[in-house]
Amino acid sequence: MSAPDTRRLRSADALDRARDEERAALIGYLPVGYPDLAGSIDAARVLIDHGADMIELGLPYSDPVMDGPVIQRAAGSALAAGTRTRHVLDAVEALSGRGAAILVMSYWNPILAYGPHTFARDLAMAGGAGVITPDLIPDEGADWIEASEEHGVDRVFLVAPSSPPDRLAHVVSHTRGFVYAASTMGVTGTRASVSAATEGLVERTRAAGAENVCVGLGVSNGEQAAQVGAYADGVIVGSAFVRALLENEGDSSAARSALATVADDLRAGVERSRR
């Protein structure tokens, strides 16, 4: 945990870089510990090498109420294999300094158990950019807001299609880095199409004061990435990558090449998103 602070790329840096290149950013999610710790770090490197601007490292949790079957399966397998919170920090350290901002996506209880201040400190020391907390709303986040502020860690809260203007303003005012806009009412997983209403949600979130809004849930291919990237600052993809890993379980080179194919398609999508 001796990474110098200069290695840290924050979310806004990664989003600005993509903005300068006139495209949306590509953000890839992978659960730490699947197929094993080294395999998950390796998989994240493939995503970075194939154009991901940010990596969300999922901290596997026993009760993931916001995750669909694909991520549940991979995260459950990671937990069964003994993945610990400290392994997630190890993965952050292994992946920082490679040109992508590294975030952690975690349900609240593991961070609470680790200690919010200690987690923010250790994450920053490992070179991590921030944390996405899908089941923590700012109203319950006083400790986390203080801890993340103190250690310079982005805190990414979520908005949803159901969010009314007062909630959007509330979430936006407490968020640092970017706001995570859920494209649909539901859990993680690939979907045939991304709801047309998502653009409206992004607009409303910007109107509430957000500088950066990234869209997640349901995006799985280049076409969808191009469509969402036209109005969002970043496109978040999870289940499509995890599925590529699951479908090639036990064959790491096939998994790498499947991940690369999905990433290349998505990267091409975000690159044509503003044309």
Catalytic residue numbers?
56, 67
Residues 246 and 74 sit within 8 Å (Cβ to Cβ): yes
Told to check if 63 binds other proteins by CB under 8 A, we report: yes
Residues 195 and 214 sit within 8 Å (Cβ to Cβ): no
Per-residue three-class SS string for 175-231? CCCCEEEECCCCCCCCCCCCCCHHHHHHHHHHHCCCCCEEEECCCCCHHHHHHHHCC
Told to check if 34 binds other proteins by CB under 8 A, we report: no
Place of tokens 């203007």: 165
Q: How far is the CB of 163 from other proteins (least distance, A)?
A: 6
Classify residue 42 by burial, with Cβ atoms within 10 Å: 0-12, 13-18, 19+: middle
Residues 44 and 101 sit within 8 Å (Cβ to Cβ): no
Residue from 16, 19, 42, 110 binding other proteins (CB under 8 A) = 110
The angle formed by the CA atoms of residues 237, 87 and 131, to the nearest 5 degrees, is 45
Q: How far is the CB of 148 from other proteins (least distance, A)?
A: 17
* Binding-residue pattern over the window 65 to 104 for other proteins, x denoting contact by CB under 8 A: xx-x---x---x--x----xx-------------------
What sections of 102-196 are H helices per DSSP?
108-114, 116-125, 142-151, 165-174
Q: How far is the CB of 87 from other proteins (least distance, A)?
A: 10
Told to check if 143 binds other proteins by CB under 8 A, we report: no
Residue 53: both structure tokens together: 């601007």
* Binding-residue pattern over the window 159 to 198 for other proteins, x denoting contact by CB under 8 A: xxxxxx--x---x----------x-xxxx-----------
By beta-carbon proximity to other proteins, the closer residue of 20 and 63 is 63
Determine the angle formed by the axes of helices 165-174 and 197-207, rounding to 10 degrees: 60
Count residues contacting other proteins (CB under 8 A)?
Answer: 40
Told to check if 146 binds other proteins by CB under 8 A, we report: no
Binding part of the chain for other proteins, among 31-39, 154-162, 229-237, 264-272 by CB under 8 A, reads 154-162
Residues within the interface to other proteins (CB under 8 A): 61-66, 68, 72, 76, 79, 84-85, 108-114, 134-137, 139-140, 157-164, 167, 171, 182, 184-187
